[in-house]
């Protein structure tokens, strides 16, 4: 029937069901089960905090802090400082990106600002105007050798 509507019962938190943005962020989205979406018509100003991943299709100005990944879709316009696990930019971004892992700018994406990451990928057709700081993992320091005993030097008796 045309007017019949299937009803499904939602269980648990909302999950990403639509296709991921056409970016390398697709791999990131597949790894995360919970994604908060800022829709095309949305305009947010201030601080956005997400315990999971975040996909931005609209406009955001301010700060973005995510425990998961941040994906900026091709239609997104973001002016912010981002801190996250990984970031994929397919839209327009101005600001600073600091990630623990991978930062990726896809074909058609534009970043005006600095990126601090372990890995940076800039696809052909992407624009990156800024500075890249490759953050190396800190090697574990070996314990300091014990101080040499004073017995190693002759003692004056006198």
Per-residue pLDDT, 2: 42
76, 91 in Cβ contact below 8 A?
yes
Distance of CA 150 to the CA centre of its chain: 52
12, 34 in Cβ contact below 8 A?
no
> How many Cα atoms sit within 13 Å of 96 on the Cβ side?
8
Angle at the Cα of 35 from the Cα atoms of 96 and 130, rounded to 5 degrees: 15
What pTM value is reported for the model? 0.68
Beta bridge partners of 142: none
C-alpha distance from residue 80 to each of 27, 93, 127 (Å): 23, 8, 17
- Would you list the domain boundaries of the chain? 25-134
Long-range contacts of 115-122 (CB under 8 A, 24+ apart): 117/87, 121/24
The single-letter DSSP state of residue 150 is G
Per-residue pLDDT, 34: 84
Per-residue pLDDT, 14: 41
Render each residue's pLDDT in the chain as its tens digit; 158 residues: 443 334 333 333 343 444 444 445 545 544 546 899 999 999 999 999 999 999 999 999 999 999 999 999 999 999 999 999 999 999 999 999 999 999 999 999 999 999 999 999 999 999 999 999 997 655 556 666 665 655 555 666 66
């Amino acid at each position: 029937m045309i007017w019949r509507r299937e009803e499904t019962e939602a269980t648990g938190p909302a999950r990403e069901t639509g296709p991921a943005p056409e970016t390398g962020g697709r791999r990131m989205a597949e790894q995360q089960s919970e994604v908060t979406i800022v829709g095309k018509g949305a305009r947010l100003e201030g601080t956005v905090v997400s315990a999971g991943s975040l996909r931005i299709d609209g406009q955001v100005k301010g700060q973005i802090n995510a425990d998961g990944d941040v994906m900026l879709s091709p239609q997104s316009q973001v002016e912010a400082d981002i801190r996250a696990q990984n970031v994929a930019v397919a839209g327009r971004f101005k600001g600073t990106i600091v990630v623990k892992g991978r930062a990726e700018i896809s074909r058609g994406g534009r970043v005006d600002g600095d990126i601090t990451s372990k890995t940076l990928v800039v696809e052909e057709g992407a624009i990156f105007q800024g500075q890249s700081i490759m953050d190396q993992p800190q090697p574990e320091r070996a314990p300091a050798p014990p101080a040499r005993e004073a017995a190693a030097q002759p003692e004056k008796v006198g």
